[in-house]
Amino acid sequence: PLTPIQILLPKVIAMTLVILLGTAVSLFFVLYGIFDVPMKGSLMLFFAVTTLYTFTTAGLGLYIATLSRNLAQAAMLAILVLMPMIFLSGAWTPPEAMPAGMREAMFLSPLYHFIEMGYGILLKGAGLDVLWDSLLSLVLPGIVIFGFGVWRFKRQFG
């Protein structure tokens, strides 16, 4: 029989590859091709950061899946978790326009740090020397979230 890790890892890796392919298509055909947005930074760094963010969200999805009993519950929990993450990401509303408490809550969202790094890398040409704090703010919670999701999955199905 397969262990929980042997079940999870191929699914997460396959999902990550699909997301990276979609990201590449979006970058090259939409941003370069249609909108002619000049890219200044390292694409390898951007794809590495995208991979790390994907593992963070995979861990979050895994945790949500272990909390729910069926697909409908998982979908509702995902909406409950993802909508605040999206609103607090800074993509729709700049941090300066938010109340102080919400601005502080933004820094808890992995999406906020991913977007900050994406802007920094692709549009400003920033490297890890500038973005290391955002990278740590994405990676450290990502390790905890993914680890906790795997732990719950092992406990439930292992």
What is the mean pLDDT of the segment spanning 31-54? Answer: 94
Q: Which domain holds residue 47?
A: 4-157
**Residue corresponding to tokens 């993802």:** 82
What is the mean pLDDT of the segment spanning 81-90? Answer: 93
Q: Do 131 and 42 contact (CB within 8 A), yes or no?
A: no
Q: Is the pLDDT of residue 158 over 80?
A: no
Q: Kindly give the residue spans of alpha helices, DSSP state H, lying in 92-127.
A: 100-106, 110-118
Q: Identity (one letter) of the amino acid at 12?
A: V
Q: How many domains does the chain have?
A: 1
So what's the pLDDT on residue 73?
97
Measure the CA–CA gap between 69 and 85, rounded to whole angstroms: 23
What Rg, from alpha-carbon coordinates, does the chain have? 17
pTM, entire model: 0.91
Measure the CA–CA gap between 108 and 114, rounded to whole angstroms: 12
Q: What are the C-alpha distances in Å from 81 to residues 14, 49, 89, 97, 134?
A: 23, 21, 13, 22, 21
Measure the CA–CA gap between 77 and 71, rounded to whole angstroms: 10
What is the mean pLDDT of the segment spanning 19-48? Answer: 93
Measure the CA–CA gap between 32 and 39, rounded to whole angstroms: 8
So what's the pLDDT on residue 47?
97
pLDDT, tens digit (0-9, with 9 covering 90-100), for 98-136: 999 999 999 999 999 999 999 999 999 999 999 999 999
So what's the pLDDT on residue 26?
93
Give me the count of residues in the chain.
158
Q: Which helix (H) or strand (E) holds 138?
A: helix 128-157
